[in-house]
Chain A
Amino acid sequence: MEEDLKTSAKGQILSIRDLPTLPRVLDEVSRLVQDPNTSIEAISKVISRDQVLSAKVLKMVNSPVYGFSGRISSVQHALVLLGFNVIRGVIISTSVFDMMVKTMEGLWEHSVGCSLATGLVARKAGLKDPDEYSVCGLLHDLGKVVAAVQLPELHKAVGETVRTMDMRWLEAEKAVLGFGHDRINAWLAQHWRLPVTIKEAMSYHHAPDRAQHYQQHAAAVHIGDFVVRVFEYGNGGDDQAVPLSPAALKILGLQLADLDSVMDGFAENLSEVSGVNFAPEDAGK
C-alpha cells in the first residue's frame, strides 16, 4: 500500500507542468526582461532570490535540448547560456500562486535565508565556488513547494499533523506520505538532470553523511538550514529547530564555535534579503 502511494505520488510530482511562484520577484523580473538593455547580471541577481524561477532556469539549461545536461549549477551561467529570448519566454509563462500564499511567503523567506546562510557556511569552511552552495541552499526545500502544488490534499494533511502532533515537517511527511521532501527533491533533481552537487545537497540536507559524492554541499545546506531557523527567519512549515548534525560540522572541518561568525555574518546581511518582501506590492495598502 505504502509503495503504491509512493509510486503514484512520484508520478504526480514529476508530471508537474506549471510551477507557480510568488508575485513580487516575478513582477520585478518581468519589468527587467521588458528592457532589452537589461544586463544578465541584473536579471540573475533577482532570479537568485526566487527558488522557483531559479529551479526553472536550471532545469531548462540542463535539459537535453541544450546538450550539456548536469553541467550548469549557477543561475548566472544558466542565463548566459539560455539567452534573453528564452529567459523572457520562461518569465512570461510563469504563473503565481493564487492559494496558500501566506504559507508560501514563509517558505520563500526560509529558502532565501537558507541560501544566504549556506553561502556563508561555505565561505567559512573555505570551500571553492561558494555561490554554488548558495544555489543548493535556495533549492533545498523545493520539494515542499512542488508537493503543495501537485499533492495538495496530502500537503494539507502534513500541515495538520505538524500542528496537532507538534511534529517537525519532515517527520509529519514521513508519517503521512511515507517519505519526506528530501526524497521528492531527489526525484526532481534526477528528473531535471540537475548537477550532482545540487542533487545531493537537495536530497541529503537532513543527513549529509549519507550523500555519496558531495557531502560538503549537503553539510553546508544542513548548517545553513539550522542557522536560518535559529534566527526564526521565514518558515519551513514548522517552528521547530533542526537538530544540528555533528557529522555536518565534521564534514566541513568546522567547530561549533565557528558558527558564531556565520551567525554574525547572517545577521549583518539579513537586511539585504529580508528587504525582499514576497507579498504582492499592494498587499500592505
Chain B
Amino acid sequence: MTSMALTLFPRTQRAFLLTPDPELAALFQSLWPGGEVEWTVFERGRRAMEVIFNEPPDLLVVDNRLEDIASTEVATIVKSENVYRQLPVILCLDEADLRQPWNWNEMEADDFLVRPVSPVQARERVHLTLCRASRAMDANPLTKLPGNTSIIQRIQDLIDRKDDFALSYCDLDYFKSFNDKYGFSRGDEVLMMTARVIVNTIRGFTGIRTFVGHVGGDDFVFITPASIAEEACRRVVDAFDGIVPHFYDEDDRDRGSIVSTDRQGEVRTFPLMALSIAVVFNTGGRLKHFGEASAIAMGLKKKAKENPKSCYVLDRRSE
C-alpha cells in the first residue's frame, strides 16, 4: 500500500487533523508508515486556524468532537476564503449527525467519515480526496485542461528523469484584437476551440505518452516525444487555420481581416488569428530546470511571431 501512495502523489502530503480524540489521532498517524501523508494533530480547533492560514496543508480533517469550535464552522471559515477554498476538508461525524439532511451548498466540505472509522476506508478516502483536489484545483476553469502547477510539475519530472522530450509553447496572434472587436465570450469560444484542436491532434498520436496544458489566456503547451514534435505542430497549425475563420462574422471572414483598435488606441486592420508555436527539445539531459525550457521558448516565440501566419519554430541548437 505504501508503494501505491508513492505513485499517487509527487511529494509528501501535509495533512492537519483537528481532534481531541487520541484514538482517532493514533489511527490516522498509523495509516502511512512510509510517511507519504504526514499528520499534524491539533487538539483545539481555534489554535489550528492561524496555522492553517499561515501554512495551508494539502488536506484538513476536522472531528465533530472538537470542544472549542464546531467542525462545520472550521470548514466554513476555510471554504469562504477564496485563497483557501481549494484546500480539501474531510469531516469526521457520528451517524446521528446525518439524521437531518445537510445543505452541502452551504457546508462546502469535500467528504466525510463516520464513526467508528474503518482504517482502510479512512486511508482510501484520504487518497481519493487528495487526488480529486489536485485535479480540480489546477484545471483551467474554461478549458478544464491542466494548469500551470501541473505543467511545471510535469516538465520538471521529465527533466529530473532525464527523459528526451519536446516542449511546444503555443499562443494566438491577434487574439487581443479579436477579443476587443467581438467581446470576451466570442474570445472564449476561440480558446475552447484551440484547446480541442490541440488535445485531439496530440492524442491522435496513439500509443505515445503526451501532455497538453493550458497556461492561461491564449497560451497553451503540449509535450511529445521529440521525434513527432514537428509533425504535431504541422497538424495543429493545419487544423487551427482551417477552423478559425468560422469564428469570425461573414464579412470579416471574406475580407480576411478585422478592423479594431490597437494597444495605442489607433484604429488598425488586423489579420485573422494565427497560431505561433515554439518548440524546445530536451535531448541528452541538457535542461536542468523548467525555467530554462520556458526561457528558451520565449526567445523562440518572438521569432515565430514575426510571421503573421501560423507557424512553428524549432530550437535547432539541440540538434
Residues on B with C-beta less than 8 A from A85 are 203
Question: Main secondary structure on chain B at its contact with chain A?
Answer: helix
Q: Closest CB of chain A to B108's CB: distance in Å?
A: 25
Assembled-state Cα–Cα distance A74/B193 (Å): 14
Q: Closest CB of chain A to B142's CB: distance in Å?
A: 8
| B34 touches A (CB below 8 Å) | no
Question: Which interface residue of B192, B239, B246 has the most chain A CB atoms within 10 A?
Answer: B246
| B204 touches A (CB below 8 Å) | yes
A-B pairs with beta carbons under 8 Å apart, 25 shown: A36-B206, A67-B188, A67-B192, A68-B189, A68-B192, A68-B193, A71-B193, A71-B246, A71-B247, A72-B243, A72-B246, A73-B246, A77-B246, A80-B196, A80-B200, A80-B239, A81-B193, A81-B200, A82-B196, A82-B200, A83-B196, A83-B199, A83-B200, A83-B203, A85-B203
B203/A84 in contact, CB under 8 A:
yes
| B254 touches A (CB below 8 Å) | yes
B246/A37 in contact, CB under 8 A:
no
A80/B201 in contact, CB under 8 A:
yes
Q: Closest CB of chain B to A135's CB: distance in Å?
A: 13
Give the interface of B toward A (CB within 8 A). 142, 188-190, 192-193, 196-197, 199-201, 203-204, 206-207, 239, 242-243, 246-247, 254
Assembled-state Cα–Cα distance A102/B309 (Å): 51
Contact of A128 among B188, B200, B204, B254 (CB under 8 A): B254
| A91 touches B (CB below 8 Å) | no
Residues on A with C-beta less than 8 A from B192 are 66-68
Q: Closest CB of chain A to B278's CB: distance in Å?
A: 23
Assembled-state Cα–Cα distance A145/B125 (Å): 50
| A46 touches B (CB below 8 Å) | no
Assembled-state Cα–Cα distance A161/B15 (Å): 75
* Residues A68 and B247 in contact in the complex (CB < 8 Å), given A40-B204, A77-B242: yes
Question: Which partner residue on chain B sits nearest A76 by CB separation?
Answer: B242
Given A68-B189, A68-B193, A77-B246, 8 other A-B residues pairs in contact with their CB atoms under 8 A:
A37-B206, A67-B142, A71-B189, A71-B193, A81-B197, A82-B196, A84-B203, A195-B246
Residues on B with C-beta less than 8 A from A83 are 196, 199-200, 203
Assembled-state Cα–Cα distance A40/B196 (Å): 14
Assembled-state Cα–Cα distance A40/B188 (Å): 25
Residues on B with C-beta less than 8 A from A84 are 200, 203-204
Question: Which interface residue of A37, A67, A84, A85 has the most chain B CB atoms within 10 A?
Answer: A67
Residues on A with C-beta less than 8 A from B242 are 76-77, 80
Residues on B with C-beta less than 8 A from A36 are 206-207
Question: Which interface residue of B197, B207, B242, B243 has the most chain A CB atoms within 10 A?
Answer: B243
Question: Which partner residue on chain B sits nearest A37 by CB separation?
Answer: B206
Assembled-state Cα–Cα distance A74/B188 (Å): 20
